[in-house]
Amino acid sequence: MKSGVGNGPPSDALLSVGDEVFVPGEGSRTAVLATGDVRAGTLRRVLGRCETAAVAVQAAAAVAGTLVVVVSRSDGPNALRAVEDVLDA
């Protein structure tokens, strides 16, 4: 989990979607990262858990064994639990 995520230069990106580039140390969001055996289906289940827990996801992606979910700082712990629950299932 990385706190202080915001917008910044593409060279430092944790996640880039369209014109939005999320980088550490630049803002008030939190990014939850997972690596390993994660795929698009894993992300789908994480997003479902986040929706059930009323966590507002601002951006998310899963590519090549890496999953990133960007949420508000206050939603960070619940987003982390959602990712952990899916990976532990």
Per-residue pLDDT of 12-26, as tens digits, reads 999 998 999 999 987
* 3 state DSSP class of 16: strand
Burial label, 9 (beta-carbon count in 10 A; 0-12, 13-18, 19+): exposed
Instruction: Tell me the CA distances in angstroms from 73 to 11, 31, 36, 80, one per residue in order.
Output: 23, 9, 24, 11
- Domains, the chain: 2-88 (3.30.2130.10)
Q: Average pLDDT of 1-14?
A: 93
Name the band, by pLDDT with cuts 50, 70 and 90, for residue 42. Answer: very high
In whole numbers, what is the pLDDT of the chain averaged over residues? 95
Q: How confident is the model at residue 89 (pLDDT cuts 50, 70, 90)?
A: confident
Q: What is the pTM of this model?
A: 0.93
Task: Please report which confidence band the pLDDT of residue 36 belongs to, taking 50, 70 and 90 as the band edges.
Answer: very high
Residue found by looking up tokens 């996640």 in the block? 15
